[in-house]
Structure 1
């Protein structure tokens, strides 16, 4: 029996099962039934049922009779399960072989011949990052400034990071405060913290960065989100680690259950919005630095105009200036 493709399974689910149930209800299907004529829309579904052995001609070869499906199921499912197990084993063997090569590469003079910087483009980034994390031995430091990643991307990251944590790695992750309003990120944080990761949020803007074992860093290329730079120069990586440590020390634990923390975070976001207005940044730039959408940022500004009882941004700037409001966290609302 030939192997079946995903499109065959889709046809089976979409049409063939319904036809089989009709034949069951009718007790059979005449060979001249119009539903299985050569030009009938159901002909492909019928042919699939015959190929699967779910319909067979009776002794006088005038009627197709339904056949109990368990035998056909085993003929289809068992080979797929066997092949799946074989592929998983083969995948593990390939991974083990490549892991040995990676260790040999790091120990060889050739590893330094490509220089301290490597540029990755487009689809090459994700596989390289996965391999880098899989090869980590001690620590992962990650900074994610915005929460625009899709739910699938976050889920994939969770699976990858949990596997690293289960190997005994330590992991610290830094987000902006806006991440607390992103449901996919909440799920990610809940999963990784259960396995020992530490996650915090900060009101300040920072660039995306991943540091593995304090020996290699992955950062975005300037003005090109489709390009990443792998940095292996020890002095530069150490500098990145120092920046991360300072930011992480100022950040707040990602714990949405603490109401006091959430109130303090709201105050910090309010203060940063004021600073963006005072410094004259555009809405797009300000929204990016707060890690929110331009629409959300416009809502922050609207709240400030209502708070200070003004109608325009010019009036808002004037009132805040006369009251000495500078966007510091100790600027109480309404002062």
Structure 2
């Protein structure tokens, strides 16, 4: 390897080539020229030209003279080509080795036991998901309840998902309405939708799910969010896709012009809060289903008490019952 990094090439393209062509016209540059002095704007480009062997001091050691670029080119490009060929060959050997392991796995009792389901624990989930996404051929469907991923995780996901879309594949994502109030999620959505992803939000609670090419689904284990279940059984995957499609059809597009949509979403969250109260769900469970914190949910309940002039939840429930309020879409009418 030559040791040159992408940023070196960018500097070469952006500044060094222009400087080289200028010095060709001038016949060189004096050692004392202020353009190449320490700290000058062109100093880094000059140093790179010297390192590449495109400039050389003359015999009097007073002037830097341009040299023919073909020799420098061969010193940089040839090792890269050699290394690229070596990596391709190494990649093919790794693929061949893994192909043998895959055949052994399919013949083993372990494969028969796991069948069309595979359990992944902890740190094994992310590498599996990365490989699955890299091997996708058509589309990815994702359901992401509760916008609690941090900014770093969302930034990394944006890079991965944009690369996915740029391969010509489609991506649709479903969030809860509360994601619209999460700045990091807003930035993520702006990035991926700019490249063609579709993102919508829904008032209801749903479980995390990723489906790739309608052939493989990742869902959380029932009793452990740190464990993922890989599902390849066609009927179950088709069932999960159908659930996603129905939810996505009812969801609202996640757009940047939010004023009108946010009013409608506030109405939907108000109706769902009323349903949670009527059905008797505890605050923690209701907050989770709405995708908000217990404190925010308590604020929703307090707003309803004020709206219906009730001092207690019992009074609130009685008043809504008398008025026929049930948390449905036509209650306002």
Provide the residue aligned with 1:135 in structure 2. Answer: 135
Matches within 5 A, 1:164-313: 164-313=164-313
CA distance 1:140–1:100, shift in 2 (3 Å): farther
Give 2:329's aligned residue.
Answer: 329
CA offset at residue 330 of structure 1? 2.0
What is the CA–CA distance in structure 1 between the aligned matches of 2:86 and 2:301, rounded to whole Å? 53
**CA 1:245–1:102: 2 relative to 1, 3 Å:** farther
SS in 2 for 1:119: strand
Q: Does 1:110 align with 2:103?
A: no
How many pairs were matched up? 258
Q: 1:260 deviation in Å?
A: 2.2
Contact 1:180–1:256 (Cα < 8 Å) also in 2: no
Partner residue of 1:55?
none
- Distance in 2, matches of 1:299 and 1:101, equals 59
> 1:119 aligns to what?
119
Alpha-carbon distance in 2 for matches of 1:141, 1:312:
43
Secondary structure of the structure 2 residue equivalent to 1:309: coil
What CA distance in whole angstroms lies between the structure 2 residues aligned with 1:257 and 1:103? Answer: 50
Cα deviation for residue 310 of structure 1 reads 1.4
* Residue segments in structure 2 that go unaligned for 5+ positions in a row: 1-37, 52-75
1:246-297 deviation per Cα after TM superposition (whole angstroms, max 9, x unaligned): 1111111011404322211111000001101111111110011001111111
DSSP-derived class of the 2:228 partner: strand
**Alignment CA distance shift 1:91-1:245 (3 Å):** farther
Judging changes above 3 Å, is the alpha-carbon distance between structure 1 residues 99 and 301 closer, same or farther for their aligned structure 2 residues? farther
Matches of 1:296 and 1:90, distance apart in 2: 57
Q: Secondary structure at the match of 1:262?
A: helix
| 1:256–1:262 Cα contact (<8 Å) kept | no
Counterpart mapping for 1:18-167 below 5 A: 93=88, 110=106, 113=112, 114-167=114-167
SS class of match (1:210): strand
Q: Give the distance between the partners of 2:296 and 2:202, measured in 1 at CA.
A: 18
Quote the offset at 1:192 in angstroms. Answer: 0.7
- Give the whole-Å Cα distance in 1 for the aligned partners of 2:207 and 2:95: 30
State the alpha-carbon separation in 2 of the partners of residues 197 and 91 from structure 1.
Answer: 36
Q: Distance in 2 between matches of 1:141 and 1:194?
A: 17
User: Aligned-residue CA RMSD in angstroms?
Assistant: 3.2
Shift in Å, 1:305: 1.0
2:124 partner SS: helix
Question: What CA deviation, in whole Å up to 9, does each residue of 1:205-241 have, x standing for no partner?
Answer: 1110000000000000012111000001111101100
Cα gap change, 1:90 to 1:118, in 2 (>3 Å): farther
CA contact (8 A) 1:119 1:227 kept: yes
Q: TM-score, normalised by structure 1?
A: 0.69
2-side partners of 1:164 and 1:155: how far apart? 14
